[in-house]
Amino acid sequence: MIDLTTAAKMAIQLMDLTSLNLQDTPEDIRKLCESAKTPYGSPAALCVYPEHVVWARYQCQQLGLKTVKIATVTNFPGGYDAAERAADETERAVFAGADEVDVVFPYQQYLAGNEKLARELIQSCKARCGQRATLKVILETGVLQQPSVIRSASLLAIEAGADFIKTSTGKVVVNATLEAAREMLTAIADTGGHCGFKAAGGVRTAADAQSYLQLAEDIVGRDFLAPATFRFGASGLLVNLQSMLDGTTSSNQSGTSY
């Protein structure tokens, strides 16, 4: 079993520290980068809108955050049905210097039965990433809802070339849930355990993180709990984890998360 303190320390280093607000300014991104320097290690990545990628990379270099990846989003947040546009956005993000691209799955089209579009969009975005960037596919599981649908979408994304499958944008009513995570992690295990998993939206406390980490360990194994295969997408979670480790707040005190 993963104890709470271990879970908190692990979660910090498995986090995509995130700011995806339309009002974000260069100063906001600078502060985000500064918050990535913690006494307990640095997050795996910083996730920002494409227009902030260059600035975030510069700030990380200035701060000596050499291991922190720069992530961004495309086809975000609506999971639109234009595969070529999503691929073009992804290509521009990679050219801007993004190490990782979180692309939103065309979930409404998938629910309408258009699996062909969903597959083509992922394959096109993966081709634009090439070997230069990691592709994370955001399924928007809170909209897909049904376990069987979440599983089938997970399998399609993995087969189409996703490096990670991710629960949510954080922009809908229902975001990450343990039930959705179970379906996704089982799909990953059933296909060899090579695709990564990212829980985003609603993961606010050390206790929340502990639950996801334990679930992943139970299904895929302890070695899966590494930045190459497991992430949390969060913002306020970092504050909660640090406060808990500093001894200034309880493990289940609520925070904010995208």
**Any idea which residues carry the catalytic annotation?**
102, 166, 198
Residue spans of beta strands (DSSP E) within 43-187: 45-48, 69-74, 100-104, 134-138, 164-166
Per-residue CA distances from 239 to 16, 128, 194, 251 (Å): 13, 35, 31, 11
H or E stretch at 35: helix 26-35
- Write the CB contacts of 69 (distance below 8 Å, at least 6 apart in sequence): 44, 45, 46, 99, 100, 134
Q: Which long-range contacts (CB under 8 A, 24 or more apart) does 19-23 make?
A: 19/47, 19/48, 19/235, 20/47, 20/48, 20/49, 20/73, 20/76, 20/170, 20/258, 22/49
DSSP 3-state assignment of 102? Answer: strand
Q: Which residues pair with 70 in a beta bridge?
A: 46
